[in-house]
Amino acid sequence: MNQIFARFQNVEGMNAKSNVIVSLLWLFFLTLTATITTAIWIENPLLLYSLIAFLTVEIVTIISVYIYFALKNPDCLRSETFTLNKMAIEKGHIGDNGVGMVENRPTPTETPVIIGGQNG
């Protein structure tokens, strides 16, 4: 049972993209599902019109938040993986050495290691 919950804790294998808009989109699609379900099975026009109004407010909010962050802080619209890679490059943990790409060429005294074969 613990293995099942352990998979949900690690979203790395799911290629999850996390940014500012994702939580708003989850709310939108949940409300959209509720609206469609209400329109099909429940005959209460007040509830249906309330959900449609809420969907309209959500759409306006999502567009407004997108425009705001596109102008003020575009990094918030990028995925978490992109942001972490960008920070690693800025701090010098990955990337080049400032002059060009770092190349690890063996010196003439080193013997190159061949993986899966025999060193000669």
Asked if residues 58 and 27 have their Cβ atoms less than 8 Å apart, the reply is: yes
Expressed in angstroms, the distance from the first to the final Cα of the chain is: 50
Indicate the pLDDT class of residue 29, thresholds 50, 70 and 90: very high
pTM: 0.58
Task: Enumerate the domain spans of the chain.
Answer: 18-90
Q: What is the pLDDT of residues 102-116, one digit of tens each?
A: 555 656 666 666 666
Q: What is the pLDDT of residues 30-78, one digit of tens each?
A: 999 999 999 999 888 999 999 999 999 999 999 999 999 889 988 778 7
pLDDT reading at 120 higher than 70: no
